[in-house]
Amino acid sequence: MFEPARCAVVIPCFNESASIATVISAVRRHLRAVLVVDDGSTDNTASLARAAGATVLQHDRNLGKGAALKTGLAYAFNQGYTWAVTLDGDGQHAPEDLPAFFDCAQRTKASLVIGNRMDEARKMSWLRRHVNRWMSRQLSCCTGKHLPDTQSGFRLIHLPTWSLMSLETERFETESETLLAFLDAGRRVEFVPVQVIPSLRRSKIHPLADSLRWLKWWRKCGHLYGTAARLNSSFAIRH
């Protein structure tokens, strides 16, 4: 059962001083416990996050989004939280969408709820929109399930389930790996529509390098997750 009091927010950050305080303020209207993982920032992201009321965990150097998420989620789990919301620190995720995540988890008993941006996909950059759709098609074909937005970092995660998983990726491919790991474990995954808010700063995703890294991961592990997921009939995804 989902309980807001047992849910923390985890925000991975790298040089987000322009937006982090505003993001934290908006999120804390819904959830009080906010953890910011400062992934080797060279600006004052950490001090601004603390001043806004967040607990700040810091990496000495930039390790990648996946590594920052692992640090934050592990800390939340060890502090006794059962759930965690993950969102980006650049303001592209709307905290007012959070009640839809909570309602979905309560209603469906899902262990992973993902924000689906594709109803407003035209607000995304052309390249990001098409790369996202291509990757989502690959994972959908792999699992035999409709997965509309596999790259969204706006998520509600059941931490006891997450804690049992061996996740290897440490950069942007972590969203795909985590999704397939939940399916492979036979856990219910749901998608809820969310707003698309264009970031005011340039995306930290490097289209070529990160796409190649994703393909390397996909060739190594993706088909293994997919085969296991197709053999497991105990999970369900609502379109």
User: What's the CA gap between 227 and 239, in Å, rounded?
Assistant: 21
Give the chain's domains with CATH numbers. 4-231 (3.90.550.10)
Going by C-alpha positions, the residue among 140, 139, 217, 115 that lies closest to residue 172 is 217
User: What's the CA gap between 147 and 232, in Å, rounded?
Assistant: 16
238: pLDDT confidence band, cut at 50, 70 and 90? Answer: very low
Per-residue pLDDT, averaged over 212-234, amounts to 58
Beta strands in 29-159 (DSSP E): 34-39, 55-59, 83-86, 112-116, 155-158
Is 225 a residue whose pLDDT tops 70? no
Locus of tokens 């340039």: 202
pLDDT tens digits, residue range 83-107? 999 999 999 999 999 999 999 999 9
Per-residue pLDDT, averaged over 178-203, amounts to 87
The three-class DSSP label of residue 201 is: coil
Pairing label, strands 83-86, 155-158: antiparallel
Is 184 a residue whose pLDDT tops 60? yes
User: What's the CA gap between 172 and 12, in Å, rounded?
Assistant: 11
pTM of the predicted protein model: 0.86
User: What's the CA gap between 139 and 136, in Å, rounded?
Assistant: 5
Is 136 a residue whose pLDDT tops 90? no
Residue 114, CB half-sphere, CA atoms under 13 Å: how many? Answer: 26
Question: Which one has a higher pLDDT value, 72 or 142?
Answer: 72
In the chain, the percentage of residues whose pLDDT exceeds 90 is: 64
Per-residue pLDDT, averaged over 13-36, amounts to 97
Q: How high is the pLDDT of residue 222?
A: 58
Under a CB-based contact definition with an 8 Å cutoff, are residues 87 and 30 in contact?
no
Pairing label, strands 7-13, 189-193: unpaired
173: pLDDT confidence band, cut at 50, 70 and 90? Answer: confident
The three-class DSSP label of residue 229 is: helix
Residues 6+ apart with CB under 8 A from 238: 108, 190, 191
pLDDT tens digits, residue range 64-84? 999 999 999 999 999 999 999
Neighbour-count burial of 125, counting CB atoms closer than 10 A to its CB (0-12 exposed, 13-18 middle, 19+ buried): middle
